[in-house]
Chain A
Amino acid sequence: MSNNILTQNDIQYIDYKDTDLLKQFISPHGGLVSRKRSGLTAKQQRAVEAAVKVARFMGLLPYVQK
């Protein structure tokens, strides 16, 4: 069974404001998790990456977590 959270919960769109959801795709240090670990499709992974980067810019997620 895949660990694709987005497909399992039928999520179509990724919103940069959904920090709780995006936190599923970042490592404890704040870096993006690879596709191997996130289990997302390439399209979903691109959407998540874009959303995380906007969320970081807006100060909703950290760039680096100490």
Chain B
Amino acid sequence: MVTEETTLLDADLAATLPIEEVPAEPRIYEIGYHIIPTVKEEDIEKTVGEVRKVIESSTGKAAFIAEGAPSLLKLAYPMSVRVGEKYTEYDRGYFGWIKFEAPASIVAILNDSLKANPSILRFVIWRTVREDTRAKIKAPTLREVKRVDTIKSTPRRAATEESAVPVSEEDLEKALKDITSE
């Protein structure tokens, strides 16, 4: 049935523009990863290189913003990883991070490649901003407590001794003789 309303609606729908494809705008991502501690020190750079290659391959050009070199870190709790049928528990790992700019499609690719990498213990992909997000302040320390129970008598006594009139040697000897003669 065609009423006045439906014809108006059709006209409205025709007037609206088709939904445009949202251009794949590059986004800022950061990945944090733990490399298993059994990897030798000299092979760590190779593992990081593999990750970087995956990012580079999809972005076309190098769009790295910042990077943190992997360093051995004690984990807050042991993590277990299944390799085949065996579970291995790790209590430390080489933690590193890379901040880069890439289209959103990279997340799925990176996710798959990191999961398949046997030397990556755990990783996180985190959307962030271009600015440096590390806080500049140091953690506030416990405030100093004014101690009231300290003994102040020692310095006070020393002060009185200093202020005393210096005694000459003759007087001292006299006094000693007096004591010894008694």
Contacts and interface: CB of A to CB of B under 8 A. Distances in A.
Interface in A1-45: 5, 9, 11-18, 20-21, 23-24
Interface residues of A, number: 23
B39 interface: no
Given A5-B140, A16-B32, A62 B77 contact: yes
Contact of A11 (B32, B79, B93, B135): B135
A9 B131 CA distance: 17
Nearest to B75: A59
21 contacts: A9-B135, A11-B136, A13-B128, A13-B131, A13-B135, A14-B135, A15-B135, A16-B32, A21-B135, A21-B137, A21-B139, A54-B124, A56-B76, A57-B122, A58-B122, A59-B93, A60-B76, A60-B95, A61-B76, A62-B76, A62-B77
Pairs of residues from A and B, 10 with the lowest C-beta to C-beta distance, nearest first: A59-B75, A13-B133, A20-B139, A62-B76, A15-B133, A9-B137, A21-B135, A18-B135, A59-B76, A11-B135
Interface string B102-140: 000000000000000000001010101101011111111
Contact of A20 (B34, B79, B138): B138
Interface of A: 5, 9, 11-18, 20-21, 23-24, 54, 56-63
Given A13-B128, A24-B139, A59-B73, 6 more contacts: A9-B136, A14-B135, A17-B134, A18-B134, A23-B139, A59-B79
A33 B118 CA distance: 36
Interface string B10-51: 000000000000000000000010100000000000000000
A15 B138 CA distance: 14
A8 B75 CA distance: 31
In the complex, which of the residues B68, B131, B133, B136 has the most CB atoms of chain A within 10 Å of its own CB atom? B133
B64 interface: no
A26 B122 CA distance: 23
In the complex, which of the residues B73, B126, B133, B135 has the most CB atoms of chain A within 10 Å of its own CB atom? B135
Contacts of B68: 17
Nearest to A50: B126
A54 B136 CA distance: 20
